[in-house]
Amino acid sequence: MTLSSILPPERTLFDVTGGSKKRVLEFFSTFIAQNTPSLDSQEVFSRLIAREKLGSTGIGNGVAIPHARSPHCKAPVAGFLKLDDPIDFDAVDGDPVDLVFVLLVPEEADDTHLALLAQVASVMNDADTRHQLRHCASQQQLHETLIEAIQRHGDGSSRPD
Name the residues annotated as catalytic: 67
156: Cα separation from own chain's centroid: 16
Give me the amino acid identity at 95: D
Cβ(83)–Cβ(147) below 8 Å: no
Instruction: Note whether 82 and 142 are within 8 A (CB).
Output: yes
The DSSP result for 80-129, as a single string, is: EEEEEEEE----TT---EEEEEEEEEETT-HHHHHHHHHHHHHHHT-HHH
